[in-house]
Amino acid sequence: MPLNTPSNLLSNRQICASQPTETKNLVKVETRIKNRLAGATDIDTETKSLLFNFAWWMKKEGYAPSTITTRERLLRTLAKRGADLTDPESVKEAIAKQDTWCNKRKMNAADAYTAYLRMHNKKWEPPRYKVAFKLPFIPTEKELDDLIAGCGPKTSTFLQLLKETGARCGEANNLKWTDLDLEAGTIRITPEKGSKPRIFKLSNRLLSRLMSLKRNSDKIFCKHIRTQRHLFQKQRKNLARKLQNPRLLQIHFHTFRHWKATMEYHKTKDILHVMNVLGHKNIMNTLKYTQLVDFKGDDYVSKATKDSEEARNLIENGFEYVCTTPEEIMLFRKRK
């Protein structure tokens, strides 16, 4: 007698024409088994409908658009790779097989499926993944400036905004022209992830760049953040090769936020100030920036001037006022 392997089950099945319901169910099972055997790259109409309903449910529950997109995409990926969303064990197995995923991503996938089951008033025993805390990569300011200078007009303006404000990429991408106050030289940040709203003073250089952009819609930048990210990644790769600096490949949109927080803390030694800059409501999220970079005395570029206009330009370009000498020379410094 042949073994009841999936291939034998498919080749030796018998379907009674008088049992349309059983036939329909068997066809579904056959499709799922074939998908798992072949490593399918598409999902059936029923699964697409389930994912659409899940996204709509999250929207009604008040989840952030970025959360909705991320969770729906994770479950869609698992479904494409053979997971049966109606079977928790199948989903758990599919997550475990994603060898290229880090534990954080696997945990996010498990959280997404937990929310999916909650929509159906169901529960499961989620897999346990431990995420090791890692200190974020902090580039030098020159590396950030190299990226900004080497990108196109819209991308470079976006990066300069991230550098000056420390905003999340989603917050920056959602900015509208009405958030920009040219008279005051400020921009208003609408928060994500339950953070606090903020207002930032922008440099004249950044204001000029913003005003040079075309106003194709009410939004300043791209309609979708993934479009902005794709453009950046392509230009970053080219610059890393051109400048022969592979460290540039470690710089992501969120790296600018880490850099801003680190520099603000070292400049002020005021963790509450950094907390307000980032819009954090929980100080525990801010404390990690106190240990990121061990600055030394030679990490500064210094400038001296007697001219008030030159002093103003130095401040706008990130230099910090230190003191005035008895000869009435103003001294400034800036991190390398």
pLDDT in tens, the chain (336 residues): 444 444 444 444 444 444 444 455 555 555 554 444 444 457 889 999 999 999 999 999 998 888 999 999 999 999 999 999 999 999 999 999 999 999 999 999 999 999 999 999 999 999 999 887 778 899 999 999 999 999 999 999 999 999 999 999 999 999 999 999 999 999 999 988 778 999 999 999 999 999 999 998 999 998 888 889 999 999 999 999 999 999 999 999 999 999 999 988 888 888 889 999 999 988 888 887 776 666 655 567 788 888 888 888 888 887 888 888 877 888 888 766
**Segment (H or E) for 170:** helix 169-173
Nearest alpha carbon to residue 199 among 207, 188, 209, 210: 188
Sign of CA dihedral 262, 268, 271, 274: negative
Bridge partners, 332 (sequence order) = 303, 321
269 and 308 in a single domain? The answer is no
Distance CA 330, CA 326 (A): 10
Bridge partners, 200 (sequence order) = 187
Q: What is the pTM of this model?
A: 0.68
Domain count within the chain: 3
Q: Which pair of tokens denotes residue 6?
A: 């999936």
114 and 218 in a single domain? The answer is no
- Does 291 reside within a domain? no
Percent helix, strand and coil across the chain, each to the nearest 5: 55, 10, 35
The phi and psi torsions of 332 (rounded to 5 degrees) equal -130, 155
> What residue numbers bound the domain in which 80 lies?
6-119
Q: With beta carbons less than 8 A apart as the criterion, state whether 106 and 228 touch.
A: no
Q: Which amino acid is at 36?
A: R
- Does 292 reside within a domain? no
DSSP string, 214-257: ---SSBSS-SSHHHHHHHHHHHHHHHHHHHT-GGGGG--HHHHH
282 and 309 in a single domain? The answer is no
- Does 12 reside within a domain? yes
E strand segments, 171-215: 180-181, 186-189, 198-201
- Does 36 reside within a domain? yes
Q: With beta carbons less than 8 A apart as the criterion, state whether 106 and 94 touch.
A: no
- Does 130 reside within a domain? no
105 and 167 in a single domain? The answer is no
